[in-house]
Copies of this chain bind each other. A is one copy, B any other.
Amino acid sequence: VGDQDRIPLVQAINDYKQKNTARFHVPGHKGKEMDNFLSSLYPFDVTEIPGLDDLHHPEEAILEAQRLAAELFGAEETFFLVGGSTTGNLAMILAACKPSDEILVQRNVHKSVIHGFILAGAKPIYLAPMIDPVTSLPVGVPLQEVKSKLQQYPRAKAVLLSNPNYYGMSMELLPYAQLCQEAGVPLLVDEAHGAHFGFVDGLPSSAMQAGATTAVQSTHKMLPSLTMSSMLHVQGELLDRARLRQALAMVQSSSPSYLLMASLDLARSYLAHEGRRDLEHVLEMVRDLRKRIACLHIPWLKVVQKGSDYDFLDPLKITLRTNSADFHGFVLKEFLERQGIFPELADQHHVLLVLSPLTEQKELDRVVASFSKLDRSLEIKADQIRDIPSKLFIKEQFFSPGEVLNRESETIPFEESAGRVFAEMLIPYPPGVPLICHGERMDQETIDYICQLQAKGCHFQGSHDTSLRTVKVVKE
């Protein structure tokens, strides 16, 4: 059992700084306190010199820091990620799949998962998510869908689920993990939004607790580490660890940032100590916040409650839902920003507030205070959003995403793309779920739906022309 009071990597960096050495090694700032806002940081921004270990072959401080993290997060082994959850998703897919291997994957995944299939040359078999009727957001995949696809594709090398979604809607993964265990395939979980899961009562259990093989967590999103610092947790024998290490060495920098790694060590230490108490405290504050917003009696504004098609709603994600046609999500977001309250994102109907154990009562007070300025008398419009049909996510697939990049492509007007096989993704943001992926055939229903989203001010990612005037398709 490790000593969670230790922060071994921070200690090692600090020890080196104390030595006051003449640095004839990289980085080029030589640890000087330059005259800018990073000033105090440069002396701690070090590299693989004696005493400071090596992320790609950890034997000392980094190994101890990773082991302490593994212990706390319930993994057999934890890898620090300096390239964000992006590199964790790429690496676990590269480890699980050789070219042409099939992999079962929830369709509403982050684009880095699709990129993983491209780099691995893998063939994704998409699993349709359920659609939450209240918010029209895609959530988890029914267990039965995974079961039947596992039978239909007995050679599939892994199941990849994304849990929770961006809005904190999540499934209990235990039965999924058991199903995969029985089928002898690894359950890979993109748990980017769930680094805090499982630490106190009132939070969903984590993928590791449920028995998943791997979990990629954006530590930086919900815990206090620096942006782009993440962790990959692993347990069991279903994923080849040697291939995983090789894949991590391929997609991660050979000059990894010690600041990012140290911030992971600090975040783990924080969570092992005051972090739990802070989490409990913020859960209380959230219960109070929900009551206070309800007491304001703004008829067109609600905080989204847990729906029936998923198992948990992360209390640290506050999704505000507006039923006013004029004061829609984007307007509400700007209203808040003018008062110095910066949300995570907005869509036509929602504004998402992301809390963390570091959120303070006075910040929630600012939200309530700003809401008290809202006009209660706005007309409530009938819901104009059309539910995304689940089948919109599942299209005829002509090539695997990787095969598409082997082929000639051409650029055509979006409105003429029905029937064409796409050579890029179209990802409405939010919620960031691709409506079409590389290798899939476009249909008129999806074109109409995308035009509807665009008219509402939704932005698109993943394509070369984010205005969607033109799109890239495979040459016929």
A-side residues, CB < 8 A to B, are 10, 13-14, 19-30, 32, 34, 36-38, 40-42, 44-47, 49-50, 56-57, 82-87, 90, 98-99, 110-112, 115, 118-119, 121, 195-196, 218-228, 242, 245-246, 249-260, 262-263, 266-267, 270, 318, 337, 340-345, 353-359, 363, 366-367, 402, 405-406, 424, 461, 464, 466, 472
Is the Cβ of B28 less than 8 Å from the Cβ of A224?
yes
Closest 9 CB pairs of A and B: A84-B253, A29-B224, A28-B356, A24-B353, A22-B363, A115-B250, A228-B257, A25-B344, A30-B358
Contact of A10 among B13, B36, B112, B223 (CB under 8 A): B36
Can you identify 27 A-B contacts, CB atoms within 8 angstroms? Answer: A13-B37, A20-B340, A22-B342, A24-B318, A24-B353, A25-B354, A26-B220, A26-B222, A27-B226, A28-B225, A28-B356, A30-B359, A34-B270, A41-B259, A42-B224, A45-B227, A46-B227, A56-B461, A84-B255, A86-B252, A86-B255, A87-B253, A121-B121, A227-B255, A227-B256, A228-B253, A228-B260
Quickly give the copy total for this chain: 2
Contact of A257 among B25, B227, B363 (CB under 8 A): B227
Chain B residues contacting A255 (CB-CB under 8 Å) are 84-86, 218, 220-221, 227-228
Chain B residues contacting A256 (CB-CB under 8 Å) are 84, 227-228
Chain B residues contacting A111 (CB-CB under 8 Å) are 249, 254
Is the Cβ of B36 less than 8 Å from the Cβ of A228?
no
Is the Cβ of B358 less than 8 Å from the Cβ of A26?
no
The distance from the CB of A330 to the nearest CB of chain B, in whole angstroms, is: 11
With A115-B249, A228-B260 already in contact, 9 other A-B pairs whose C-beta atoms are closer than 8 Å: A24-B342, A26-B354, A28-B196, A28-B356, A42-B224, A46-B227, A227-B255, A228-B256, A242-B472
Contact of A38 among B41, B119, B195, B358 (CB under 8 A): B41
Is the Cβ of B27 less than 8 Å from the Cβ of A225?
yes
Is the Cβ of B99 less than 8 Å from the Cβ of A406?
yes
Chain B residues contacting A367 (CB-CB under 8 Å) are 22, 24
The distance from the CB of A43 to the nearest CB of chain B, in whole angstroms, is: 9
A340 to B367, CA, bound (A): 53
The distance from the CB of A353 to the nearest CB of chain B, in whole angstroms, is: 4
Is the Cβ of A221 less than 8 Å from the Cβ of B112?
no
Is the Cβ of B30 less than 8 Å from the Cβ of A356?
yes
A254 to B429, CA, bound (A): 13
Name the residue in A218, A225, A405 with the highest tally of chain B Cβ atoms < 10 Å from its Cβ: A405
Chain B residues contacting A263 (CB-CB under 8 Å) are 38
A90 to B10, CA, bound (A): 30
The distance from the CB of A127 to the nearest CB of chain B, in whole angstroms, is: 22
The distance from the CB of A83 to the nearest CB of chain B, in whole angstroms, is: 5
Chain B residues contacting A250 (CB-CB under 8 Å) are 90, 112, 115, 118-119
Given contact pairs A250-B115, A340-B20, A266 touches B226 in the complex (Cβ within 8 A): no
The distance from the CB of A320 to the nearest CB of chain B, in whole angstroms, is: 10
A263 to B118, CA, bound (A): 31
Chain B residues contacting A83 (CB-CB under 8 Å) are 82-83, 87, 252-253
The distance from the CB of A399 to the nearest CB of chain B, in whole angstroms, is: 13
A340 to B345, CA, bound (A): 50
Chain B residues contacting A47 (CB-CB under 8 Å) are 227
A34 to B110, CA, bound (A): 30
A341 to B461, CA, bound (A): 49
Is the Cβ of A342 less than 8 Å from the Cβ of B23?
yes
Given contact pairs A32-B224, A227-B255, A257-B228, A246 touches B464 in the complex (Cβ within 8 A): yes
The distance from the CB of A249 to the nearest CB of chain B, in whole angstroms, is: 7
Is the Cβ of A14 less than 8 Å from the Cβ of B30?
no
Contact of A86 among B115, B119, B253, B461 (CB under 8 A): B253
Chain B residues contacting A270 (CB-CB under 8 Å) are 34
Name the residue in A85, A118, A246, A342 with the highest tally of chain B Cβ atoms < 10 Å from its Cβ: A342
Chain B residues contacting A472 (CB-CB under 8 Å) are 242
Chain B residues contacting A84 (CB-CB under 8 Å) are 253-256
Chain B residues contacting A356 (CB-CB under 8 Å) are 28-30
Return the chain B residue nearest A432 by Cβ. Answer: B254
Chain B residues contacting A359 (CB-CB under 8 Å) are 24, 30
The distance from the CB of A79 to the nearest CB of chain B, in whole angstroms, is: 15
A19 to B246, CA, bound (A): 44
Contact of A222 among B28, B46, B464 (CB under 8 A): B28
Contact of A254 among B29, B86, B257, B318 (CB under 8 A): B86
Is the Cβ of A25 less than 8 Å from the Cβ of B253?
no
